[in-house]
Structure 1
Amino acid sequence: MNNDKITILIVDNCPHILSCLSEIIRSKGYEIKQANSGKSALKSVIDSKTDLILMDVKMPIIDGYQVCKQLKTNPNTHNIPVIFMSEISDTTERIKGFEAGGIDYISKPIQREEVLARIESQLTIKKLHIKLEEKNKQLEKEIEIKRKMNIIYQLLLLICQKV
């Protein structure tokens, strides 16, 4: 992630929860986008930059798990971390969320400190992942340069042996 403001998409079909979470998260300086359905969440992610998604599981028509699965199959959105939220907090539901591609699961009612801590944690992991990918690309380039230099060296050795 670069120096742009971090944008978090909050997805919930309850306007009160959208409002409360937006206020909590905005207080930490994040940009907020809201979606009240799975369909509008997918559109929002495709239309503009999203760094993290905080998404309700139970929504009409397209639930949070289905939205997450669709995001994870798209090469443009598969790296966006998704934190699920739900009143249902049994192990089966949590596992379902992880299997769908979610990276965390928060039980409702949402606690301010917990949601902020989980967001910070996931954003830190995302930043480290991006740095690791950049370093890997740099190392791959260096390896390719060394491989080419080795070929040149071998050719020079052959030339010197012929002379």
Structure 2
Amino acid sequence: AIPISKYLAVLTAGLIVYTMAVVSILSLTVPLETSTQILTQFQLHPKTLMIFFCTQAFAWLILLLGLVVGCVALRYALARAQALVIACYLILMFFGYWYFLGSFAELLGDDVGFFRAQIVYTLLMGLLSTIGGFVLFDRRAEI
């Protein structure tokens, strides 16, 4: 219960910041003239771009929370070589994330686009590492 409550506390804070950022962007009434000239070439509205970056930051929050849950689960599940295993886990997750990102974007196709596929992929990797960490913590951790 303690790891889940800590996870949910950080997730709630991140969700509140994300919601506040998106609502403030949507309620922005000032014309965004400097970026409008560049973005009209790509048929993008500046508010859409800002919301995209907020969503990307939230997806990274989920991924980083998943990595932390995995590290904590490994720390409590192992008796020896904790630092080595956690370092290997982080290195493998880092390389695995970047190695499979292109394949995942190709799998979703051009209709979704690379940047949206990256958001979905980041969220999925974060959720999978979170679930894996919670399962490992539940089955193997001895506190």
TM-score between both structures, scaled by the size of structure 2: 0.31
* Greater relative CO, 1 or 2 (CA 8 Å, sep 6+): 2
Using structure 1 for the length normalisation, give the TM-score: 0.28
Structure holding more helix per residue: 2
Higher strand share: 1
